[in-house]
Amino acid sequence: MSESVLDFSIALALTVTNGTTGVNVTSALALSPSQPGVASADGRLQASLVGELMPYRALPVLTSQMLLLPTASSLDAALANHPEKWLLLPTSMVTLDGSECDKVGTAFTAFRFQAGGCGRVVGACLGSQIGQLAAADDARMKQGLDPLYYVARYLPKGANNTIRAAGGQYSLALPVMQIQSSIVTVEVAADSVRFTVNAAPGKVRTESRAAHSRV
């Protein structure tokens, strides 16, 4: 996984009433990290995204993780429609050349040349495989616990629209499960702005009651 990028959109709207016709005209803008400065077509409204305040909880860092995607020939074809059950593993749990035991991707070479292979139990060198990790997470979820390797670990319940494909590359879109605060500056043309104060007469009434006690 490459470095993560925070993506969001902030919508702004300015409604101006024509003093002569009484018609309301609304200018709408949208700010985002990819478009931090925008202006309305008439130039009456301008906005800039200054930056983000640090949240109380840090966002997950996945640069040392590897996302495993099901292929078209996967034994479980239905898995392609449930990306929340795709595995997100630390790179230390995956072997790319197949030369290490008990890792995803273990090849015959690691199994064949393991020390004392003839004296080992059945299944030696073949632990921590995809099916075993998925079964362990299924068992945890049935007990009401969070999974350790499923993408669902970072998702609210019921969410599965997390994988986006473009140009042969995949990206993992995880929702931010906390309130984010942004600093935004807004400039409005004030040549026709009116300051209106509505005042209404009123009185504040207080009522006191004497306390009585009985013996």
| pLDDT value of residue 75 | 56
The strand ranges marked E within 167-208 are: 169-172, 182-188
User: Does residue 214 carry a pLDDT above 70?
Assistant: no
Closest CA to 36 of 179, 174, 183, 149: 183
pTM for the model: 0.66
Percent of the chain scoring above 70 in pLDDT: 83
pLDDT tens per residue across span 130-148: 999 999 999 999 999 999 9
Percent of the chain scoring above 90 in pLDDT: 31
Query: Which alpha helices (DSSP H) does the chain contain, by range?
Result: 108-112, 130-142
Q: Tokens representing 61?
A: 């860092």
Query: Which alpha helices (DSSP H) does 70-160 contain, by range?
Result: 108-112, 130-142
pLDDT tens per residue across span 155-191: 877 665 566 666 667 777 788 878 888 999 998 887 7
Ramachandran category for residue 119: left, alpha or beta (phi over 0 → left; psi -120 to 50 → alpha): alpha
User: Domain residues of the chain, as ranges?
Assistant: 10-55+179-188, 65-172
